[in-house]
A and B are shown apart, each in its own frame.
Chain A
Amino acid sequence: MKTAVQPHTGYWPYNDQTQMDRQIPRYPRSFTRVPAHPLTERPLTLTELTGPAGIENRLGVEALDLSHAAPEEPRALGQLILVSGRVMDEDGSPIAGAVIEIWQANSCGKYIHELDRFDAPLDPNFTGQGRLITDFEGRYQFLSVKPGAYPVIESGWWWRPPHIHFSIFGPSWMNRYVTQIFFPGEPLNQIDVLLNGVKDEEARQTLIFEAPPPEMGDVQRIPFHRDFVLRGKRATPELP
């Protein structure tokens, strides 16, 4: 049987200097959950280099519009936003077919989740969750409303700034990626322990949406933009 030679992708460990700290003061669970023992180095084999490609067929994806709970229903309360960007690898090549899961609070800062004890109201026209897939140029976009801030109730002091959660399935187990993206200019950004857990200024800025000016005449929605770089480089071919 003929077996096609597949392009090989190389992976290197995340650089701790350009990532969020693993343990952050005033984020108590990071001190009870991050392993005390050093992480073990191990070789990468087929189990790591492969991954759930085609997962859209199992989970389902849609042209995502979170600004309505259902197409014929009224629009959710809040400021309408259009979020877009590209998913690419470390070489800047687009990653087509990346599946992105999105979840966020409503405009009052309330999630539809049994563990959310904030007393802000739910919005019957807002679910705040959905799944989409990047196009052949690695692009994604969805409509939503701007999430509100909310308190971390157990902390007694910590208010989370508005943010949207992203969970991305790239082509392999190695580039499975989860993050939160913040909005520019929010006063609460200054005190958020997670956002400020990224010491490198340039890296921290990549957790904040860019806010391009709205297109002339478009008074419907405010655009926000964020590109993602998933781990992986096309490896240099080895000499025979």
Chain B
Amino acid sequence: MNPSVYCTIGPFFPAEFSDGCSDLTRNNGKVARGEHILLSGRVLEEGGKPTVNTIVEIWQPDANGIFRHALDPRCGQADPGFFGWGRARTDADGWYRFRTVLPGSYEWEGNMRCPHLNMMVLAIGLTRRLVTTAFFPEDPTNASDLVLDSVSDLAMRARLIAKRDPSADAAGAAGYRFDLILRGAEETPFFVD
């Protein structure tokens, strides 16, 4: 059977479905291990215009690179204070904000996946989700990540690396900036889905 037909999330995704979902640093009353970070950015359409009530979802491993999922052979050692999924909606200026942990790296089929988190974008005008991956600056393994390497254009590849933003630091968490530019100059690379 063919997969069901995707359709846009539309303008009226309930606020109640995203409220409280943008902080990944707590789970079951426990605090996540590792370095806490604030990841924020703007979701922009052509002409650099902000998009409003765009839904951004993220999925990532814990600080040790372990997923809370049965397919991860190290699942039993996953951080009980970390679930790994989050959702945020953009405000009138196009900003989304997450509080999470710096993801750990892990080995996959003989290669290292360097620290990263997966992102998906749902918005008016998008009949399908857009998927991409955010990486972190200064990580030495960025040079050999399977997914990062698949973006051959070096200028576009650089757009997949979040920028350290000390002005966004708050409450013991380091700030990182990652804009999602859906279309136009400086367009973010998105992956086949």
Given contacts A33-B126, A103-B14, A179-B4, contact A173 B187 (CB under 8 A): no
**Cα-based distance from A217 to B73 in the complex (angstroms):** 53
**Cα-based distance from A175 to B4 in the complex (angstroms):** 10
* Nearest CB of A to B90, in Å: 12
Contact (Cβ within 8 A) A40 B59: no
Contact (Cβ within 8 A) B7 A180: yes
* Nearest CB of B to A120, in Å: 13
Contact (Cβ within 8 A) A229 B1: yes
Contact (Cβ within 8 A) A179 B72: no
Given contacts A6-B70, A50-B71, A180-B7, contact A90 B1 (CB under 8 A): yes
Contact (Cβ within 8 A) B106 A29: no
Contact (Cβ within 8 A) B61 A103: no
**Cα-based distance from A231 to B183 in the complex (angstroms):** 27
Given contacts A30-B125, A46-B106, contact A178 B3 (CB under 8 A): no
- Range for the number of chain A residues in contact with chain B: 35 or more
Q: Does A159 contact B (CB under 8 A)?
A: no
**Cα-based distance from A24 to B4 in the complex (angstroms):** 19
* Nearest CB of B to A57, in Å: 8
B111-124 interface bits toward A, Cβ cutoff 8 Å, 1 = contact, 0 = none: 00100111010111
Contact (Cβ within 8 A) A19 B5: yes
Out of B3, B27, B59, B182, name the residue touching A35 (CB < 8 Å). Answer: B182
Q: Does A137 contact B (CB under 8 A)?
A: no
Residue of B nearest to A103 (CB): B14
Q: Does A81 contact B (CB under 8 A)?
A: no
Quick one: which of B41-93 are within 8 Å of A by CB? 45-47, 49, 51-53, 57, 59-61, 67-73, 76, 83-85
Contact (Cβ within 8 A) A115 B12: yes
Out of B21, B130, B150, name the residue touching A43 (CB < 8 Å). Answer: B150
Give the 5 A-B residue pairs with the shortest CB-CB distance, closest first.
Answer: A29-B125, A50-B69, A52-B85, A33-B125, A42-B150
Known: A20-B7, A45-B147. 13 other contacts (CB 8 A): A6-B71, A20-B128, A29-B45, A32-B47, A35-B190, A50-B67, A50-B71, A51-B85, A59-B21, A113-B12, A176-B120, A178-B7, A229-B3
Residues of A within 8 A of B (CB): 1, 3-4, 6, 13-15, 18-22, 24, 27-37, 39-43, 45-55, 58-59, 88, 90-92, 101, 103, 105, 111-116, 129, 131, 165, 167, 172-173, 175-180, 194, 197-198, 203-204, 206-207, 228-231
Residues of B within 8 A of A (CB): 1-17, 21, 27, 45-47, 49, 51-53, 57, 59-61, 67-73, 76, 83-85, 106, 108-109, 113, 116-118, 120, 122-130, 133, 146-147, 150-151, 156, 182-184, 187-193
